[in-house]
Amino acid sequence: MEALFIGHAYIDITFLAESLPTGDDKTIANDYAVAFGGNAVTAAFCAAKLGLKAEILCQQADDWLSRMFLEMASRAGVPVHGRKVAESSLSFIMPKDGKRAIVRCRDDEFRHPFPTLNLEGCRGLHLDGHMADAALHYAKVCREAGMLTSLDGGSARPGTDELLNYIDVAVISERMCEQMHLNPLAMLDYLRSKHCKVGAVTLGERGLVWYEGDQEAQTMPALDVPADKVIDTSGAGDVFHGAYFYSALTRPELSWAEHFDFARSASAFAVQHLGNEASLPTLEDIEAIRASLPEAA
């Protein structure tokens, strides 16, 4: 294991349709994809496809959806450490016009404590704030051992404030800023107060604002993906996290500007594909995107 990812796993059913039926109506979707899902989980699959030896700690049920997920992970070469729940989790995702509507079915009532894992050889930890007790435990262990700790702050969850005390790299969504009643720059100040070495707020098609160390806040535009090429934005943020985390662990000599540039190219690839599995780029895909797409105005 080179990196441990802790989060909540889903099976994502993503479909393209003109509208959602109501009442007794029916409709036919134009296309669909079935894949793994979840913030840290998708980041792990992304990092693994890029070449990192990633392992996942997530909830796990004894049902056919769990067996489907484990088969996906096996094909990707990603070992899974499960924590018992009664039912697997599902996401129904409808991308449309650069946005995505999501209905989630989630079971996070754990029946046992989180497992104790052997972290020999591990160099980094990426979290999404789910499984809060395990996240805090491993953040403390990994920070003390000098490993890189990273947080996908997609939402303000119970325990996030304490967890941030053990995070090196915190990349926060606009949604979490809104939940905490902070604008992006105020969020960066908050992350500095938690002693995060790198902090960022992702702004979707508007790019991100970020800092590294004692530097002033900087902006990085997104890449200009033509609107008619944007198919599914639902996993693009998770791919962004997986890509910067891979870059930071495998190329630590680079600056965070370079890690984030690499990640925005991965994300620009992701939005042009339906479903998380098809959205995962190779190193060659990322280089092709970097060479072909300009920054958004």
- Over range 111-129, report the average pLDDT: 96
Residue 59 CA to residue 7 CA, distance in Å, equals 8
- Over range 200-211, report the average pLDDT: 95
31-37 and 10-16 as β-strands: parallel, antiparallel, unpaired? antiparallel
- Number of CB atoms found within 10 A of residue 287's CB: 13
What per-residue confidence (pLDDT) applies to 200?
Answer: 98
**What confidence tens digit (pLDDT) does each residue in 41-75 have?**
999 999 999 999 999 999 999 999 999 999 999 99
Residue 44 CA to residue 42 CA, distance in Å, equals 5
- Over range 272-287, report the average pLDDT: 97
Q: Return the bridge partners of 92, or none.
A: 13, 103
What are the DSSP calls for 208-274, one per residue?
EEEEETTPPPEEEPPB---GGG----TTHHHHHHHHHHHHHHH-TTS-HHHHHHHHHHHHHHHTTSS
* 209 to 14, 45, 171, 184: CA distances (angstroms): 29, 25, 10, 7
Q: Phi and psi (nearest 5°) for 271?
A: -70, -10
Structure tokens at 43: 């980041």
Residue 250 CA to residue 52 CA, distance in Å, equals 8
Q: pLDDT at residue 187 above 90?
A: yes
Q: What angle do CA 19, 25, 29 make, to 5 degrees?
A: 40
Q: pLDDT at residue 280 above 90?
A: yes
Q: Give me the percent of the chain exceeding a pLDDT of 70.
A: 100
CA neighbor of 288 nearest in space, from 112, 276, 274, 272: 272
CA neighbor of 89 nearest in space, from 114, 55, 113, 66: 66
Residue 83 CA to residue 149 CA, distance in Å, equals 21
SS3 38: coil
Q: Which residues contact 228 (CB under 8 A, 6 or more apart)?
A: none
Q: Give me the percent of the chain exceeding a pLDDT of 90.
A: 92
pLDDT band for position 19 (cuts 50, 70, 90): confident
